[in-house]
Amino acid sequence: MYELMLIMLERLGLIVMLAFIATRLRFFRDMISSAALSRKQQYKAIIFFGAFGIIGTYSGVTFQAEPFLLQRLKTDIFNHEAIANFRVIGVVLGGLFGGYKVGTAAGLIAGGHRMLLGGFTAFPCGIATIAAGISAAWIRTKNPEITAKPLLVFLIGAGAEMLQMALIVLLARPYTEALVLVQHIALPMILANGIGCALFLLIIKSVAKEEEKAAALQSQKVLRIAEQTLMHLKSGLTPQSADKVCTILYQELNLKGATIDDAENQLSHIGSSSNAAVIESLKSRDTVIGTLRFYFYSQKDVTSIEKETLSGLANLLSSQLELAEADKLYNLAKDAEINILQAQINPHFLFNTLNTVISLIRINPEKARTALRSLSKFIRQNLHSTTASLKTLENEVEHIKAYLSIEQIRFEDRIAVSYHIDDSCLHNKLPALTLQPIIENAVKHGFKGKIDQCKLSITVRDHKDNISLCIKDNGSGVRENRLVNLAADVSSSTEGNGIALYNINKRLQMTFGSDSGLHFKSRPDDGMAVYFNIPKIS
C-alpha cells in the first residue's frame, strides 16, 4: 500500500503539470470564466475533460493483488489485473465546471474507454466514472459556489473514489480478489484523487486571480490615460489636443506608433507604423468623428486583452469628447439664459423711468429737462450694458447715479444717497445691470409710503480675496419669514419685486458660483440690506 501511495503521488505531479498546461489554453480560460457555457464551449469541454480522464487512466499503474505486483500500464489488461489511476479527476471537474451535459459525456468517454481496456474491474470502474460526472454536476447545482472551495472539491474527488471502491466490491468477480484489491488500493487512490482534484482547482483559481490582476492593471492604465487626456480633450478634437493625446497613448501603452484622424484628415502621428495595428473609432452621439490607430512592434503583442483594453479606452475618449461638446453647449445655453434674463430687466427699467419723466413734464418742465438729460445718460449706459455680459464696477456706479438722479427728482429730493466705495474696486467686473435693479427695488418698494427722509447707502469694500457689496435702505423692510426665499424664486414676492432679485441672484450664481448669491438682512419698518461677494476680476 505504501509503495503504491508513493507511486500515485509521483504520478500526481504529471496530472498537475497537465492541468497547468491546460490553463494556458484560451478556450479553457474562457470556459472557466463563463457563467454559462455556450454549445460550442460545451463540446470543447466534453472533449477536454473526457480526454483528461483517459490520460488519468494511462498515467496510473496496473495492479495485481496476488501475487502483489505493480507495473507500468499496458494497452491490454488481463482479467486478474486492475488499474490504480486518476481518471475521476477530469470527470469530476467536468461535472463541476460544465454541468450535467459535460459531466455525463466526459464520464461516458473516460468510463467507456476504461471498460474497453478490460480486467475484472472494468465494468464497475466504468460505471463509477459515469456516476462521478453526474454526481459532481448535481452537487454544483445545489451549491454553485463549490468551485471556490478546494476542501469541498477534495472531498468530492475522494468521495468519487470511495464510490468506485464500493462498486468494485459489489460488482467485480471473483469477490475475494476484488476485496483484496480494494484493501490495497483504496486509501492511496482516495487520497491521490482527492488531492488531485483540489490541486487542479487551486491552479484554476490562480489563473483566475492572474487574469483579474491583469484586468485590474489594464483598468488602472486606462483610467490613468483618461485622467491625463481629459484636460486636453476639453477643447474637442483639434490638432493641438490630438498631439497631446497621441503622446500620452504612445508613452503609456509602449506603442511603436499612434495616429489620430478626424473624419477627413490626419490630426497627429507619433512613432512609426507597423502591420500589427489596432484601429478604433472615436464617436460622438453615435457618429464617428475620428479614428485611433495603435501600432505595435509585432502581432504577438496584439492580445485579446489588449484589444479589449483599447476598445474600452476608445470609448472613454469618445465619452470625453461628448462631454466637451456638452460643456460647450451648456456654456452657450448659460450665455443665452443670461441674455434672456438681462433682456427681461431692460423693459422694467425703461417703463418706470419713462413714467417718472412723463409726470415731471406736466408739473415742472425744468426738472423734466434735467430728468431727460439723466434719462439720456441712463439709456446710453443701459444699451452698453445689454451688449456685454460683464461691466466694470465704475460703469455700474455711473449707471445707478443716472438712475438715482431721476428718482431724486421724482421724490423731490427726499432721497439721500451716500457712497462708500474703495477706488481699488472700480475696475473689477460683475454682471451688467446688477446694482440698478436692487436700488430700484429699494426706491420703489422700500420707500413706498415713507414720509420721513429716505436714506440709501451703497458700500463697496476691497478685501484680500474678494469684494463685498452692500446696498442698505431705511425703508419699510421685509418680514423675516420671507427673507429665506426672497431671491430663490420669481414667485417669492407678492409685491412685484421678485423677478428683479431672482434675475440678479441667478446671474451672479451662474457667473461666479453659488457662493456669490444675494443675501438679505431686514426687519419690518427697519429697512433692508442686500449684500453679496464677488471674486476679483479685472
Least confident of 107-111, 236-240, 459-463: 236-240
Percent of the chain, pLDDT > 70?
87
| For range 467-475, the mean pLDDT | 94
For residue 326, count other CB atoms closer than 10 A to its CB: 12
Q: Work out the pLDDT band at 467, boundaries 50, 70, 90.
A: very high
Q: Which of 145, 147, 1, 177 is nearest to 81 (CA)?
A: 177
Most confidently modeled range among 15-19, 226-230, 245-249, 301-305 = 245-249
Residue 496: its pLDDT value, please? 47
78: which DSSP letter? -
pTM over 0.75: no
443: which DSSP letter? I
Q: What are phi and psi of 453, to 5 degrees?
A: -60, 130
425: which DSSP letter? G
- Residues facing residue 471 across a β-bridge: 458, 530
- CB-CB contact of 45 with 105 (8 Å): no
Percent of the chain, pLDDT > 90?
34
The answer for 20, left when phi > 0, alpha when psi is -120 to 50, beta otherwise, is alpha
- CB-CB contact of 221 with 309 (8 Å): yes
Distances (CA, A) of 290 to 29, 281, 286: 34, 6, 12
Instruction: Give per-residue pLDDT as tens, 480-496.
Output: 777 777 776 654 444 44
Residue 74 has pLDDT above 60, yes or no: no
The whole-angstrom separation of Cα 461 and Cα 18 is 82
Q: Which of 282, 235, 236, 234 is nearest to 258 (CA)?
A: 282
Residue 167 has pLDDT above 60, yes or no: yes
Residue 336 has pLDDT above 70, yes or no: no
Least confident of 148-152, 378-382, 410-414, 425-429: 378-382
Residue 270 has pLDDT above 50, yes or no: yes
Residue 101 has pLDDT above 60, yes or no: yes
Residue 491: its pLDDT value, please? 47
Least confident of 56-65, 275-284, 424-433, 485-494: 485-494
Q: Work out the pLDDT band at 525, boundaries 50, 70, 90.
A: confident
Contacts (Cβ under 8 Å, ≥6 apart) of 288:
263, 281, 282
The whole-angstrom separation of Cα 62 and Cα 65 is 10
The whole-angstrom separation of Cα 537 and Cα 51 is 78
Q: Which of 1, 2, 8, 4 is nearest to 193 (CA)?
A: 8
Q: Work out the pLDDT band at 50, boundaries 50, 70, 90.
A: very high
- Output the DSSP codes for 335-398: HHHHHHHHHHHHHHHHHHHHHHHHHHHHH-HHHHHHHHHHHHHHHHHHHHHHT-SEEEHHHHHH
For the chain, the average pLDDT equals 84
- Output the DSSP codes for 197-262: HHHHHHHHHHHHHHHHHHHHHHHHHHHHHHHHHHHHHTT-S-HHHHHHHHHHHHHHTT-SEEEEEE
Instruction: Give per-residue pLDDT as tens, 343-352.
Output: 555 566 567 6
SS (H, E, C) 117-162: HCCCCHHHHHHHHHHHHHHHHHHHHHCHHHHHCHHHHHHHHHHHHH
| For range 433-438, the mean pLDDT | 87
Residue 492: its pLDDT value, please? 44
Distances (CA, A) of 129 to 86, 160, 377: 11, 8, 103
Q: Which amino acid is at 74?
A: K
Q: Which amino acid is at 102?
A: V
Residue 340 has pLDDT above 70, yes or no: no
Distances (CA, A) of 1 to 63, 169, 358, 391: 11, 18, 122, 99
The whole-angstrom separation of Cα 124 and Cα 178 is 11
Least confident of 18-27, 41-50, 148-157, 438-447: 18-27
Least confident of 26-40, 234-248, 276-290, 456-470: 26-40
Q: Which of 376, 377, 357, 379 is nearest to 368 (CA)?
A: 357
Task: Please return the burial class of 162, using the count of CB atoms within 10 Å of its CB with bins 0-12, 13-18 and 19+.
Answer: middle
Task: Please return the burial class of 115, using the count of CB atoms within 10 Å of its CB with bins 0-12, 13-18 and 19+.
Answer: middle
Q: Which of 314, 409, 297, 318 is nearest to 361 (CA)?
A: 409
- Output the DSSP codes for 454-508: EEEEEEEEE-SSEEEEEEEE-SS---HHHHTTTTT-GGG-SSS-HHHHHHHHHHH
- CATH superfamily placement of domain 329-535: Histidine kinase-like ATPase, C-terminal domain (3.30.565.10)
Residue 71 has pLDDT above 70, yes or no: no
Contacts (Cβ under 8 Å, ≥6 apart) of 432:
342, 385, 386, 388, 389, 390, 391, 395, 396
| For range 193-199, the mean pLDDT | 92
Q: What are phi and psi of 442, to 5 degrees?
A: -65, -45
Which residue, chain included where needed, has cell 440678479?
A: 504
Name the more confident of 73 and 127: 127
| For range 98-110, the mean pLDDT | 94
Instruction: Give per-residue pLDDT as tens, 370-389.
Output: 877 887 887 777 666 666 67
CATH entry, 215-324, from 3.40.630.10, 3.40.50.620, 3.30.450.40, 2.40.37.10: 3.30.450.40
Residue ranges per structural domain of the chain: 2-212, 215-324, 329-535
Give the number of residues written for the chain: 538
Most confidently modeled range among 157-161, 226-230, 284-288, 347-351 = 157-161
| For range 441-459, the mean pLDDT | 88
Least confident of 131-140, 321-330, 349-358, 428-437: 349-358
| For range 407-420, the mean pLDDT | 85
Instruction: Give per-residue pLDDT as tens, 385-396.
Output: 666 678 899 999
Domain covering 2-212 assigned CATH 1.10.1760 in the classification: yes
The whole-angstrom separation of Cα 443 and Cα 135 is 91
